[in-house]
Every structure is written in C-alpha cells, then in structure tokens.
Amino acid sequence: IRALQISRRDERLRESNEKLRESHRRAIDDMAKRNGHKWDFQDYEEGMYVWLRESHLDTIKGGKGLWTYSGPYIIHEKCARDAFVLKELSGVILPGHVNIRQLRLFFFRPTHQTLRAKL
C-alpha cells in the first residue's frame, strides 16, 4: 500500500512500480506453466532458493494476516529422503534439518535469473 501511495507522487515511480508488479505476475505465470499449475513442488536440489515456513507464527492470536514464511534460503545439502540443511544468503549454515513440507520454492525475475545459487 505504501508503494502505491509513493507512486502517486511521481510518474516515474508509478511506472517502475507497474513494471515490477508485471514482472512478478509473469514470474508466477511462468512458474505455473512449468509446473502444470501444481504448486506442490517436490524436486528440490542443492543450491536452489526456497522459503521456510515458520509454523509457530500460526499459533499467534490475532496473527491472521502475518506472513508465515522466512527467507529466502539456499539448500545446502539433502540429508535424508525429505530432509534438507539450509543456509542463508550470506553463507551461514542453519543448524538442524528442515522437512520438505516446510519449504516453498522461491522464484523471482531479475536479470539472468537462475534457480540455483553460486556461492
């Protein structure tokens, strides 16, 4: 909402906000086409960007609109069948394992986009 308020002041900001929103829409549409409009992506590999679901945020009273994902993180290694070790974008490895059900694929559309990190 704040971005829309600021963009009303300046024409260039409005145009850049529209381009950004269109880019996000295209990224979502492209992802939907690649996965056949199925959002339960399961083919995670090392180096991919993901969101991590923070389930403790669901139990907060009155937190209906809170964002329950943190990240993005990078998959550092695949441990068991459905367990992963994550690392932050700075390269710090998170302690413990994360179940595949807590992950969601992070996709974006910058120049030269890739799903895998090169740290």
Q: Mapping DSSP to helix (H, G, I), strand (E, B) and coil, where does residue 53 land? A: strand
CA distance 74 to 116: 8
Q: What is the pLDDT of residue 97?
A: 93
Question: How much is the pTM?
Answer: 0.57
pLDDT for 109 equals 64
Is the per-residue pLDDT at 7 higher than 60? yes
Identify which has the larger pLDDT, 33 or 114: 33
| Span 67-110, pLDDT tens digits | 788 888 999 999 887 899 999 989 999 999 999 888 988 877 66
pLDDT above 90 coverage of the chain, percent: 18
| Maximum average pLDDT range among 3-12, 20-29, 62-71 | 20-29
Q: Between 112 and 7, where is the model more confident?
A: 7
Residue 40 dihedral angles phi and psi, to the nearest 5°: -95, 70
Report, as an integer, the average pLDDT of 35-60: 76
Distance of CA 24 to the CA centre of its chain: 12
Res 113 pLDDT > 60:
no
pLDDT at 82: 84
